[in-house]
């Protein structure tokens, strides 16, 4: 009986701690994103039988490039990596 009371008390304290952490996180301001990760294709070869390779890069959020677009490496792209994420 005493053990059960101790367990219930510990559970209530744990729940109160979680609630306090949640309230703290909920009150923090979330910064708006300024960049986005985009998957794009780059032409490899002369274009006459050439192929496209897949890359991904971090780009400013206001750039007009979307997933799957065909693009070249641009100076405003950051963290360029091979393959899609």
For the chain, the structural domain boundaries read 1-29, 35-82
pLDDT in tens, 21-67: 889 888 888 888 899 999 999 988 776 777 899 999 999 999 999 99
How far lies 81's CA from each of 33, 44, 71, 75, in Å?
20, 15, 14, 14
Tell the residue number behind the tokens 């979680």, with chain if given. Answer: 18
Spatial distance between the Cα atoms of 56 and 77, rounded to a whole number of angstroms: 9
What is the average pLDDT across 64-75?
A: 92
pLDDT, position 41: 95
Q: The pTM is what?
A: 0.60
pLDDT, position 49: 75
């Amino acid at each position: 009986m005493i053990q059960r009371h101790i367990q219930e008390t510990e559970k209530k304290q744990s729940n109160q701690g979680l609630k306090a952490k949640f309230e703290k996180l909920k009150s923090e301001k979330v910064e708006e994103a300024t960049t986005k990760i985009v998957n794009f294709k780059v032409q490899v070869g002369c274009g006459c039988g050439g192929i496209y390779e897949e890359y991904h890069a971090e780009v400013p959020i206001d750039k007009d490039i979307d997933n799957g677009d065909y693009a070249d490496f641009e100076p405003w792209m950051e963290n360029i990596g091979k393959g899609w994420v």
